[in-house]
Amino acid sequence: MEVDPTVDKVKAGDDESVMGGMMQEIMGSIPGIDEAMSFAEVMKLVQSMEYSCIVFDTAPTGHTLRLLQFPSILEKGLAKIMDLKEKFGGMLTQMSSLMGAPAFDDAAITEQLNSTKEVIDEVIRQFQDPESTTFVCVCIAEFLSLYETERLVQELTKFEIDTHNVIVNQLVMPDEKSSCGLCKSRVLIQQKYLSQIDDLYEDFNVTKLPLLTHEVRGVEMIKEFSELLTNPDNKVQSLKATQ
């Protein structure tokens, strides 16, 4: 399924194309608008379908954080538009008249922004309902990934959004019989960050997954891989972080 995140154009006649284009320009320039409208569009589609669980796979500190920050950004945008109206409203009206375009309609722009904000507020409400939404953080045992994960967890906590699961992926299993120097080095590095993960997220459900020798593609492989996620007795869970 492909979703077009473009903000809906204002329904208007040809004589209002200038105003419609202006509103499109204003709405499209707001940070986080693509993520917000994409999520809202998907939610519209799935409301008429029957699923027990819907998974959104997103870049955590890019798309997700921009979406969470959207309401406050939009409020600042509305305030800015009102300020511009007070300063330049008369001039814009005169310019529109000289160009033969419709008069500058700040009320229409404000209405569109408020309508969009209502959609985003509903998205945030769904995010903040622990009965319907939770965030599962996926990382690898390296510095940058752990840093980004902690940044995401802190932001989710600030926005009162449920998150209590962390998946640590691509772990190299220790093997004393192995003569691979690179493998042993990776194990030592990963164990260092596993120790930090265990300390930071001692109240979380931390799932540890091994580095596989193959891609997970196809239904059967996905089923096999899911056993690593759902089976608490898999051998990776017993991997203890040591210094």
Per-residue b or e along 124-147, where b marks 16 or more CB atoms closer than 10 Å to that residue's CB: beebeeeeebebebebbbeeebbe
Tokens of 229: 């996620």
Token pair in block for residue 172: 């190299």
Q: Which of 75, 105, 131 is the last residue of a domain?
A: 131
Sign for the CA dihedral angle at 95, 97, 99, 103 comes to: positive
Task: Say if residue 48 is in the same domain as residue 163.
Answer: no
Show which of 108, 131, 154 is a domain's final residue.
131
Query: At 241, is the pLDDT very low, low, confident or very high (cuts 50, 70, 90)?
Result: very low
Domain limit, last residue, from 112, 131, 150? 131
Distances (CA, A) of 188 to 122, 192, 240: 45, 6, 12
Residue scoring higher pLDDT (23 or 54): 54
Give mean pLDDT, residues 161-173: 93
From residue 23, alpha-carbon distances to 32, 35, 69, 93, 167 in Å are 16, 18, 21, 16, 42
Integer CA distances (angstroms), 9 to 78, 94, 111, 122, in order: 18, 25, 13, 20
Higher pLDDT: 59 or 236? It is: 59
The residues with which 136 forms a beta bridge, in sequence order, are: 165
What confidence tier does 42 reach under pLDDT thresholds 50, 70, 90? confident
The CA distance from 19 to 90, in Å, is 16
Write out pLDDT tens, residues 178-212.
Answer: 888 898 999 999 999 999 999 999 999 999 999 98
Same domain (yes/no): 124, 148: no
Domain coverage including residue 40? 1-131
138: left (phi over 0), alpha (psi -120 to 50) or beta: beta
Rounded to whole angstroms, the Cα distance separating 181 from 195 reads: 21
Does residue 107 share a domain with residue 33? yes
3-class state of residue 50 by DSSP = coil
pLDDT at 222 over 60: yes
In this predicted model, which residue has the larger pLDDT, 152 or 174?
152
**Do 86 and 155 lie in a common domain?**
no
The model's pLDDT over 223-240, given as tens digits with 9 standing for 90+, comes to 888 888 887 555 554 444
Domain co-membership, 18 together with 125: yes
Burial (0-12, 13-18, 19+ Cβ within 10 Å), 120: buried
Query: Which token pair is 72?
Result: 């406050």
Tell me the CB-side half-sphere exposure of residue 26, using CA atoms within 13 A: 25
Looking at the fold, whether 223 and 239 belong to one and the same domain comes out as: yes
Reported as a pLDDT band with limits 50, 70 and 90, residue 163 is: very high
**Count of domains for the chain:** 2
| pLDDT one-digit tens code per residue, 65-122 | 776 776 677 667 666 766 766 676 566 666 666 665 555 566 776 777 677 777 777 7
pLDDT of 234:
56
Q: Do 105 and 174 belong together in one domain? A: no
Which bin fits 90, alpha (ψ -120 to 50), beta or left (φ > 0)?
Answer: alpha
